[in-house]
Structure 1
Amino acid sequence: MQTAERQGTHQLPQVHEPRNPGMALDMDRVLSQRVNRSAVERRAATLPGRRSVKKAHQAAWLARAISCIDLTTLAGDDTPGRVARLCAKARQPVRADLLDAIGLPDLTVGAVCVYHDMIAPAVKALDGSGIPVAAVSTGFPAGLSPFHLRVAEIGESVSAGASEIDIVISRRHVLTGDWQALYDEMRAFRAACGEAHVKAILATGELGTLTNVARASMVCMMAGADFIKTSTGKEGVNATLPVSLVMMRAIREYYDLTGYRVGYKPAGGISKAKDSLVYLSMVKEELGDRWLRPHLFRFGASSLLGDIERQLEHHVTGAYSAGWRHAMA
């Protein structure tokens, strides 16, 4: 029988944690979610300046960031060749000599994320690597296609070999306060995923308030989401520190309530190595070390990896190189 590594599932949360089964919708708890925006913004503003890691410690944190990246291509001109090159980068995200120098020759990213039509070439290119393929689904990025087609799209992607599905919620349910509709939608998406784990994209830049973000986070976790994710990367505002703080605290509250750990994925706009360190420090402080693993934390990113590789080269050689020397594919 194949191992989890051979099947490309060793990064999935259900391999390491009891899978979140969800719970009945608790409207009292949902409506009790209220966010003091000014307090959240003050707390978030302290994070970039309060944590500084240097030299070998920084290299170790950056390596951890690489292991938590969902290396992503979601472009209209994606081709099988481009995806295959991206998968080669996923297998060896940093030059071999640099990986050897920091003592991590087998380091890989957390997953490769693509559109449905690119699942097959991604699965083929990653065969035997243990790196899962994630597919965006449910009418990504707007989520406005007919409901039965969104559910069917999940099934098609799972059949094609995706072991992670990034779904988008209907923002209108949040904006109109129809929490039952959001819960029912998320439950249907979770059921359609089967054994594949599901990341619920909240599109936080389109939800209006941080209170809406907190409530939507709680509803999606109650409905069985394995991860909650900030953004599609296509909104005007994507991952931010205040939004991340609100979502992480919702995850912590859900864990205290149920005993189940739900993962977190900030996506969109995280392109600098120093930013990844801020997010990792926030995860450590708000959720704890257990979440600092790819089965409970991911970055949705593409250009982030290139800047991290530049920083690692500086750590090893003492010199910075041009960005073009660290292409994504």
Structure 2
Amino acid sequence: MTSLTRNPGMALDLDWVLGARVNTPAITRRCASLPARRSVKKDYQAAWLLKAVSLIDLTTLSGDDTADRVRRLCAKARQPIAPEVLDRLGMSGLTTGAVCVYHDMIGAAVDALQGSDIPVAAVSTGFPAGLSPWHLRLQEIRESVAAGAQEIDIVISRRHVLSGNWQALYDEMLAMREACGEAHIKAILATGELGTLENVARASLICMMAGADFIKTSTGKEAVNATLPVSLTMIRQIRDYHDRTGIYVGYKPAGGISKAKDALTYLSLMREELGLRWLQPDLFRFGASSLLGDIERQLDHYVTGGYSAAYRHALA
């Protein structure tokens, strides 16, 4: 896999942003047809599910998180699928894409993942609402990077989108990108709170213009999280950005993706719209944890012919 030039961003192009249009009925029809039209079975399904595991940001974002829970989650990230199942599938060395935690849990995660290539991601900037004082949001990013986070998941100010203040959104994103330094930044749009798919498209472009390495649907805390129509809208802006600049930007659907069959649908959508290069951890992630448990059960069924109990696949 070739290394990619990190998105350097560009000057704000409001003509491009305001020219973004979304045909909502067409988007809805396209997404409705995908699950039935792109079904994979048997060997192919097992291979795609193994790929999905490698793309998961294994996440714990609960108020009762402890260092021990994070360490157990990191152990799961190192060995997400039972060794005997992987042996039957002829697979080894499989890990998840990252481990995602709150700032206070970064140290525990970094220690638990030493010697692996699994990055630690931290949610930041007053997650999930993004309403803490501005200087504290920037300082939180800097402190998370200093603590060892290699990826920072920030939340944008939804009010900038809802009021059409695109310059403010661009300036905000630019400052957060600078605060991240060498750490990669994932911009969470909280799409369930943006009102329209057109707003989603424009916010996606703004964040990429300001240097986002990934754009991400949701915090997982909104009433509506990742959906196929939102995903199709966002990845088409990624495609447009790549066509115009030559720069690759990643995509992360988060929240509400808990079934293996849903993961397969998202992988099919990425494959059709953006191509195979976007099915690598540096360009695509699932923001999910419960998804891993269902994938484990499906792979267990594939190699044994029977479904195992869900309690056998605890995350932490």
Letter of the 2:246 partner, please give it. G
Q: Map Cα deviations across residues 40-75 of structure 1 (whole Å, 9 max, x no partner).
A: 101110111101111111110000000000000000
Shift in Å at residue 99 of structure 1? 1.1
Question: Of 69, 81, 100, which aligns to 1:82?
Answer: 69
Name the amino acid aligned to 1:213: V
Residue of structure 2 equivalent to 1:139: 126
Runs of 4+ more than 6 Å apart: none
Alignment of 1:15-164 (within 5 A): 16-164=3-151
**Mapped partners of 2:128, 2:183: distance in 1:** 20
Offset, 1:21: 0.2
Amino acid at match of 1:129: S
Q: Secondary structure at the match of 1:149?
A: helix
Cα distance in 2, alignment partners of residues 16 and 30 from structure 1: 28
Task: State yes or no: 1:277 paired with 2:264.
Answer: yes
Q: Distance in 2 between matches of 1:235 and 1:133?
A: 23
Residues 16 and 295 in structure 1, CA contact (< 8 A), matched pair in contact too: no
Q: Kindly report which structure 2 residues correspond to 1:186-265, keeping only aligned pairs within 5 A, or say none.
A: 186-265=173-252
- Distance across 2 between alignment mates of 1:230 and 1:53: 25
Deviation at 1:90, TM superposition (A): 0.2
What letter matches 1:249 in structure 2? Answer: R
Using the TM superposition, give the Cα deviation of residue 16 of structure 1 relative to its aligned residue in structure 2, in angstroms.
2.1
Report the Cα distance in structure 2 between the residues aligned to 1:265 and 1:32, rounded to whole angstroms: 24
DSSP-derived class of the 2:126 partner: coil
Distance in structure 1 (CA, Å) of the matches to 2:8 and 2:35: 35
Kindly state the Cα deviation for residue 260 of structure 1 after the two structures are TM-superposed.
0.2
Q: Give SS of 1:90's match.
A: helix
Note the alpha carbon deviations across 1:190-237, whole angstroms, 9 max, x for none: 000000000000000000000000000000000000000000000000
Amino acid at match of 1:67: S
Q: Normalising by structure 2, report the TM-score.
A: 0.99
Give, as a single letter, the amino acid of the residue that structure 2 aligns with 1:50.
R
Q: Which residue of 2 aligns with 1:7?
A: none
Q: Aligned residue pairs: how many?
A: 316
Q: What is the aligned counterpart of 1:185 among 172, 183, 188? A: 172
Task: Work out which of the residue numbers 310, 316, 326 in structure 1 matches 2:303.
Answer: 316
- TM-score by length of structure 1 reads 0.95
| SS of residue paired to 1:141 | coil
Unaligned runs of 5+ in 2: none
Secondary structure of 1:16's counterpart equals coil
Partner amino acid, structure 2, of 1:66: V
